[in-house]
Structure 1
Amino acid sequence: MSANFVIELPRLTESAIGHALHLVEMLRSANLLAGLRHGRHGPRFGWRWVDGQGRDMGKHMPHGAEGAAVAGPVRALFLSSLQCPDIPAIREIVAANKPLVQRTAAAFDQGLQVCTLGSAAWFAAGSGRCQGLSVALPWFYMGGFSLDFSEIALAPGRPLVHDGHWLSASHLEALLPMALALTRMALGDDLAAALGAVLQPDPLRERAAQAASRDLQLPATRASTLAHAIAWLEAHTEQPYDLRVLADAASVSPRTLLRHFQQELGHSPLDHLHGLRCARARVLLEITLESIPSIALACGYADPAAFRRIFVRHTGMTPSDYRERHRLRSPRRRWRVDAGEHGARKA
């Protein structure tokens, strides 16, 4: 297991602090998942709030004490975007904060991961350490940036670029991919996948989670034949597949229903049902300690071998391998011991 991963967060008067706080909240989520999976002894993210001179500001910032409590050397530097009206203002801010430019250069020289959001790319570029690298920028900064740093390649259409020790994000929406990339570096691929599953919208997973917790009822009205059929499948995922029954629920013939699925979705109703069942199985494998045969039965498969074969086809791994890679909780024995040590209720 790797050591803790500490990120330095410089704050300037012009910094978009909310963006940095958004990153911190995602790092806190990663820490929560790491604790659920590995217990309190596993690696964590830490963070250090500093001013433009590198002086500690943790006590003045949200969750500053929490981040400072995670021991370890700084392994990354995150520079938030700047709140300023135009490119000349960006240049003025960078010129007025030479210590931060020097800190950024030192971070590159030390092999730290330098992360920039939007206009903060000027600090990285101004360090003189980014020649030949690529950067993600909002379109409205590209012209001015190219004039200032012609030796750095722009990456149009790419919200996140990881080139060497520079991880650049163009817009706020790219902070989640940046957090996932940092989690992959710090805590491993499995925790990054778990964090992505928690933070990224996934309609299929959401429906599967809802179906796993309660019986769904078929909505009274839906817009189309295909929608009626899909809603019926979602509400009866665990029931044996019967094309005639499904077609009756959608008020069409089996042949017409097959045509609708093939034309609109490119697969059959049975393939769609397998996808829904595997989505439900993924959720159950992640959040419960039920046996795989029990999960197979709950998802409509009386034969665990058939469930395993179909699950491999849809996910690329066996149910047991999926559980090992994506589970959000520690094994029951360790979970209960840890909870008991803290006087908490048993899971």
Structure 2
Amino acid sequence: MPRDQPEAPATPSPLGVNVGIVWGPGSIASTAAAVVDALRAMNMLAAMRAGGAEAPVRWHWLLAPGEDGAAPPPVPDSGALQGHLHAIVIPGWLVPTGPQLREVSHRHHQYFGDLLRAHVAGGGVVAALFNGSSLLADCGLLAGRQVALPWAFAPSIVLQSGTSAQGHSPPAEVAWQRDRPWLRDGPVWTSAAPQDTLPVVLDLLAHTPAAELAQAASHVLLFDAPRQLTATATMETPTGAPMGAGSLEQARRWLQDHCNEPYSLQATARAAATSPRTLLRWFAQVYGESPQDYLHRLRIAQAQALLQTTYLTVDAVAQQCGYSDTGSFRKIFHRVSGTTPGAYRQRFKLRTTRKQWLGTHTNGDN
């Protein structure tokens, strides 16, 4: 149920850590629930250690007044807060286009803008999950920062930050790190996908007085390669491995870095410091496909993104993805995805007409 808006942080509360979760119509319920589950796990660990002592982490739904349908998801809150907020989490919103995301963000900015700016200025930390970074852009809190953004909304958020930054003349640019699923820049965490909610929130809490609890919870809730490898259960390994896993990884990374260039088995093998024949044999054994097929999958994934979100012709998409012959591109696209580029675009498109995407309402066909 709605409560009065909490104050920005001053000195940390000795009684525990307080987390505010922004909630409103269209907020992503699964993301918000995952945040709460991480906090509950931390409290569970604390209770196990202290024999049922008072939960050290509390959370609070930050609801904008007058918003219809803004009831938070059916997960328990922790009751009344004690002290100031240490962290704020923005779960993001389910919206179909950039303009609609900006509309939702603008509405929330009217109520939460001053709170967020004062929160960060006062030493608090904030995590914007998925497209929740749009609200931080409205607050001028992304300007000059490195950020991870969802590819479908990134251009809109970057543009929004450039026009909303406060205290920058000219506005400091946002550095979108396209290869990062999530990252931290100062007191601000951003993520590109809802699936990264847990690592983001646990890392966020690792920069509060609950740091030790957050780190302990991360060992349980997150995949940990060293712990997996040193578990007591034994695993059988393939016999005879003349080619190290590091060489295969070098081959994969080389293909990723040269995705749009003509395929060369010899060049890929050189990058892996092995022979073409050895590379073919072990690449297929480990990854279940040839290096060329792996390259085609990378290119088709890029083509699918372009077909979903741009107005480029199929010929232009083929060229951008490294195919000089559109006919070959169509055949490979069909082999990898099971459909034609045109049918894929019609079925999975993530954009409306140009005018609607730009915020101009029209009755034209999508």
> Normalising by the residue count of structure 1, what TM-score does the alignment of the two structures yield?
0.55
For the 8 Å contact 1:136–1:160, the answer to whether it is kept is yes
Counterparts in 2 of 1:156 and 1:128: CA distance versus 1, 3 Å: same
- Name the residue aligned to 2:198: 176
> Normalising by the residue count of structure 2, what TM-score does the alignment of the two structures yield?
0.52
- How far apart, CA to CA, are the structure 1 residues paired with 2:76 and 2:70? 4
- Name the residue aligned to 1:75: 86
- Name the residue aligned to 2:56: 44
Give the drift of 1:152: 2.1
- How far apart, CA to CA, are the structure 2 residues paired with 1:157 and 1:167? 15
Percent of residue pairs bearing the same amino acid type: 24
- How far apart, CA to CA, are the structure 2 residues paired with 1:199 and 1:35? 17
The answer for unaligned runs of 5 or more in structure 1 is 228-256, 267-347
- How far apart, CA to CA, are the structure 2 residues paired with 1:163 and 1:77? 15
- Name the residue aligned to 2:138: 126
1:201 pairs, out of 223, 243, 255, with: 223
Give the drift of 1:162: 1.2
Give the 3-state SS of the residue equivalent to 2:86 in structure 1: strand
- Name the residue aligned to 1:154: 176
Give the 3-state SS of the residue equivalent to 1:139 in structure 2: coil
Residues 183-262 of structure 1: pairs in structure 2 closer than 5 A: 183-186=205-208, 190-202=212-224, 205=227, 211=233, 226-227=237-238, 260=240
Give the 3-state SS of the residue equivalent to 1:74 in structure 2: coil
Give the drift of 1:29: 0.9
The answer for unaligned runs of 5 or more in structure 2 is 1-12, 163-172, 247-366
- Name the residue aligned to 1:110: 122
- How far apart, CA to CA, are the structure 2 residues paired with 1:82 and 1:136? 16
- Name the residue aligned to 1:332: none
Give the drift of 1:207: 8.3
Greater shift in the superposed pair: 142-151 or 46-55: 46-55
- How far apart, CA to CA, are the structure 2 residues paired with 1:203 and 1:164? 27
Residues 187-230 of structure 1 deviation map (CA, whole Å, 9 limit, x = unaligned): 5554344222211235775687674xxxx8x9xxx8xxx44xxx
For the 8 Å contact 2:137–2:157, the answer to whether it is kept is no
Residues 31-80 of structure 1 deviation map (CA, whole Å, 9 limit, x = unaligned): 1122223444477221001312399x999653434x22664421111111
- How far apart, CA to CA, are the structure 2 residues paired with 1:147 and 1:182? 26
Give the drift of 1:140: 1.8
Give the 3-state SS of the residue equivalent to 1:149 in structure 2: helix
Give the drift of 1:146: 2.3
Greater shift in the superposed pair: 132-141 or 36-45: 36-45
Give the 3-state SS of the residue equivalent to 2:159 in structure 1: helix
Counterparts in 2 of 1:80 and 1:102: CA distance versus 1, 3 Å: same
Aligned length in residues: 222
- How far apart, CA to CA, are the structure 2 residues paired with 1:117 and 1:60? 17
- How far apart, CA to CA, are the structure 1 residues paired with 2:21 and 2:100? 21
Question: Is structure 2 residue 75 aligned with structure 1 residue 53?
Answer: no
- How far apart, CA to CA, are the structure 1 residues paired with 2:195 and 2:152? 16
Question: Is structure 2 residue 116 aligned with structure 1 residue 94?
Answer: no
Give the drift of 1:23: 1.1
Indicate the RMSD between aligned Cα atoms, in angstroms.
3.4
Give the drift of 1:106: 2.8
Asked which structure has the greater CA Rg, the reply is 1
Greater shift in the superposed pair: 25-34 or 70-79: 70-79
Counterparts in 2 of 1:35 and 1:183: CA distance versus 1, 3 Å: farther
2:40 pairs, out of 28, 44, 51, with: 28
Greater shift in the superposed pair: 137-146 or 35-44: 35-44
Counterparts in 2 of 1:61 and 1:174: CA distance versus 1, 3 Å: closer
Residues 196-345 of structure 1: pairs in structure 2 closer than 5 A: 196-202=218-224, 205=227, 211=233, 226-227=237-238, 260=240, 263-264=243-244
2:186 pairs, out of 138, 141, 164, with: 164
Greater fraction of residues in helix: 1
Greater shift in the superposed pair: 74-83 or 155-164: 155-164
Q: 1:173 is aligned with what amino acid?
A: Q
Give the drift of 1:158: 1.3
- Name the residue aligned to 1:294: none
Give the drift of 1:173: 2.0
- How far apart, CA to CA, are the structure 2 residues paired with 1:105 and 1:13? 22
Q: 1:81 is aligned with what amino acid?
A: G
Give the 3-state SS of the residue equivalent to 2:153 in structure 1: helix
For the 8 Å contact 2:138–2:160, the answer to whether it is kept is no
